[in-house]
Structure 1
Amino acid sequence: MNLHALRLFHTIASTGNVTRASELLNISQPAITAQIKKFEKELSIPLLKPNGRGIALTDAGEKIALLAKRLFAVEQQIDQFCHEYRDGTNGHIRLAATYLPAQFLIPAWIAKFKQQYEQVEMTITTTNSSDALKQLLQMEVDLAVYGGLAEEYPDAIQTEELFRDELWFVVAPNHKYANQQVSLGEMMKEPFVMREEGSSTRERLLALCRTYSVSKPRITLQFNGLHEAIMAVIAGYGANFVSSLVVREYVQRGELCRVYVEGVRLQNTIAICTRKNEPLSAAAANLVRIIRQSGEDAAQ
């Protein structure tokens, strides 16, 4: 089917006369008439009939005009979608995040993003560090927001550091080491409440023990969630090694206390991870821009 001719017919049907269609399309009336006759011949169906000094639609012409109206309305929708997709005001973003940014950073970032790009759909998966990078490498997500060490990222992943926060040892206020300075060896004798295997912070603690040739911690209680682990320590059991972002307010309120371990001051990197040499969609790029701006604010 000649879609150009169908568009001419659609314009005639919409305006009700050839003269007006000619003006809108900037095509001469004889040229439009010739193309419509050729189109009728192609379809083997009369579309127009004389009506006094003008023309009218045949019964078949009215049916085809209705279908053409629907067709070109869908075309407009496709054009609009493509425009919005290119601008990042439409689309679908798949995001994986580790527990720290997922619970303490991303909600505010997403709220800010959705205020500007309400039509963009989002799927957010909260998981541990190793699984977040695995999903990114296997193209299950478009980007990941990660808390960990930059040197641990695979070569196929590009990272952009947003800011760094400190890693703290924390205990309940009534713990014997609350607000005290102790050696790493003494600290490792305490029972620890930690996240599951695959957690970046847990791996940092184990690596710390290997570096200083200290016995690894006794992880006597394990949770899949960060909040649950913190609540157990607040309740009075064990110690935790955790991002200051997570526990700073608890420490300020006196619900937790820091333990100052001699010679140990570690930082945690919060970074955006993407696949190298693969451009982001416009929507994902807009999200990264907002995250980057928020990260700069958090670092100040």
Structure 2
Amino acid sequence: MNLHALRLFHMIATTGSVTRSSERLLISQPAITAQIKKFEKELDLTLFEPDGRGIRLTDAGAELAVLAKRLFSVEQQIEQFVQDYRNGTNGSIRLAATYLPAHYLIPTWIAKFKQHYDRVEMIITTTNSSDALQQLLNVDVDIAIYGGLPESYPETIQTDELFQDQLWFVVSPQHRFANQHISLRDMMTEPFVMREVGSSTRERLLSLCRTYNLPSPTISLQFNGLQEAIQAVIAGYGANFVSSLVVREYVERGELSRVYVEGIQLENTIAICTRKNETLPASVRNFIQMIRQNPWRC
């Protein structure tokens, strides 16, 4: 079937006039008339019949007009669909993130992003750092958001550092070390409340002791969740070594207090990881651009 001729037929059926169709399509009336007659011959159907000085649809033409309207309506939907994907207003984003950004950054980022791109589907997986990068390499996700020590990334991974997040020692405001400047050795005499084995911050604490040849601290309470550990310290037991992103508001409200350990300033790197030399979908590019503009709060 000649789709160009069908489009001409659809325009005449919609406008009810060869003249108006000629004006809209910028095609001469004789050319349109000739193509419609050729189209009728191809179909072996009469689509139009005289009606005074004009024309009207035959019964066959009226039924074909309904089908043509559906066809070109779907065409418009397809064109809009393609345009939305090009602009990033439609599609999906698959994201793997480590614990810190997944719980304390990404929810705010997504809420802001969704205000502008509500039709973009977001699929988030929270995992450890090595698995997040592996998912990225396996093309299981589009991007990985990483929070932790800077690592030696594979050559095929592109990293874009957003900011450095400080690690703080915190205790309850009633603790004898609250707001004090003390030595690392004294800090390590306190019982610690930490997350489970495998937590990157816990490993940083133990690595710190090895670096300064100090005995490892006693981890008296261990929780699978970070919030549980923080609540225990707020209640007055022990100390915690934790991201400033997690406890900053607690410190500002006076529920926790910092301990300033002399000579110790450790940071986590918050970074976006993508695959090198790969064109990202527009939806992913829009999300990354939004994060870069204001990574702390968007």
2:2–2:39 contact (8 Å) kept in structure 1: yes
Report Cα offsets for 1:244-286 as digits up to 9, x if no partner.
1211222233322333334321111122222221122222212
- Call closer, same or farther: CA 1:225–1:3 in 2, change over 3 Å: farther
1:129–1:199 contact (8 Å) kept in structure 2: no
2:292 counterpart SS class: helix
Partner of 1:2: 2
Partner of 1:56: 56
Q: How is 1:161-176 mapped onto 2 (pairs within 5 angstroms)?
A: 161-176=161-176
- How far apart, CA to CA, are the structure 2 residues paired with 1:37 and 1:177? 94
1:98–1:129 contact (8 Å) kept in structure 2: yes
Report Cα offsets for 1:24-82 as digits up to 9, x if no partner.
21222232223223323333433223333332222222122111111111211222222
Give the structure-1-normalised TM-score: 0.86
1:96 counterpart SS class: strand
2:279 counterpart SS class: coil
- Call closer, same or farther: CA 1:156–1:224 in 2, change over 3 Å: farther
Give the structure-2-normalised TM-score: 0.86
Partner of 1:11: 11
Partner of 2:278: 278
- Call closer, same or farther: CA 1:89–1:280 in 2, change over 3 Å: same
2:101–2:147 contact (8 Å) kept in structure 1: yes
- How far apart, CA to CA, are the structure 1 residues paired with 2:218 and 2:66? 74
- How far apart, CA to CA, are the structure 1 residues paired with 2:226 and 2:3? 59
| Pairing 1:230–2:230 present | yes
2:170–2:257 contact (8 Å) kept in structure 1: yes
Report Cα offsets for 1:93-137 as digits up to 9, x if no partner.
223333322333333333332333333332333333333323322
After superposition, the CA RMSD in angstroms is 2.7
- How far apart, CA to CA, are the structure 2 residues paired with 1:214 and 1:44? 94
Please tell me the residue identity of whatever aligns with 1:148: G
2:151 counterpart SS class: helix
- Call closer, same or farther: CA 1:290–1:183 in 2, change over 3 Å: same
Partner of 2:34: 34
Please tell me the residue identity of whatever aligns with 2:65: A
- Call closer, same or farther: CA 1:45–1:199 in 2, change over 3 Å: farther
Q: How is 1:115-126 mapped onto 2 (pairs within 5 angstroms)?
A: 115-126=115-126
- Call closer, same or farther: CA 1:45–1:150 in 2, change over 3 Å: farther
Partner of 1:266: 266
Query: Which range moved further: 106-115 or 182-191?
Result: 182-191
- How far apart, CA to CA, are the structure 2 residues paired with 1:240 and 1:62? 77
1:130–1:198 contact (8 Å) kept in structure 2: no
2:234–2:255 contact (8 Å) kept in structure 1: yes
| Pairing 1:80–2:69 present | no
- Call closer, same or farther: CA 1:220–1:5 in 2, change over 3 Å: farther
1:150 counterpart SS class: coil
Instruction: Report the Cα offset of residue 183 of structure 1.
Output: 4.4
1:121 counterpart SS class: strand
| Pairing 1:205–2:175 present | no
2:94–2:143 contact (8 Å) kept in structure 1: yes
- Call closer, same or farther: CA 1:156–1:231 in 2, change over 3 Å: farther
| Pairing 1:250–2:261 present | no
- How far apart, CA to CA, are the structure 1 residues paired with 2:220 and 2:4? 74
- How far apart, CA to CA, are the structure 2 residues paired with 1:221 and 1:122? 35
Report Cα offsets for 1:184-225 as digits up to 9, x if no partner.
455445443333455332332233233334444444544343
2:105–2:297 contact (8 Å) kept in structure 1: no
2:145–2:272 contact (8 Å) kept in structure 1: yes
- Call closer, same or farther: CA 1:159–1:56 in 2, change over 3 Å: same
- Call closer, same or farther: CA 1:210–1:153 in 2, change over 3 Å: farther
- How far apart, CA to CA, are the structure 2 residues paired with 1:11 and 1:20? 9
5+ unaligned residues in a row in structure 2: which ranges? Answer: none
1:129–1:198 contact (8 Å) kept in structure 2: no
1:99–1:226 contact (8 Å) kept in structure 2: no
Please tell me the residue identity of whatever aligns with 1:45: L
- How far apart, CA to CA, are the structure 1 residues paired with 2:25 and 2:207? 72
- Call closer, same or farther: CA 1:64–1:167 in 2, change over 3 Å: same
5+ unaligned residues in a row in structure 1: which ranges? Answer: none
- How far apart, CA to CA, are the structure 1 residues paired with 2:148 and 2:49? 74
- How far apart, CA to CA, are the structure 2 residues paired with 1:155 and 1:211? 29
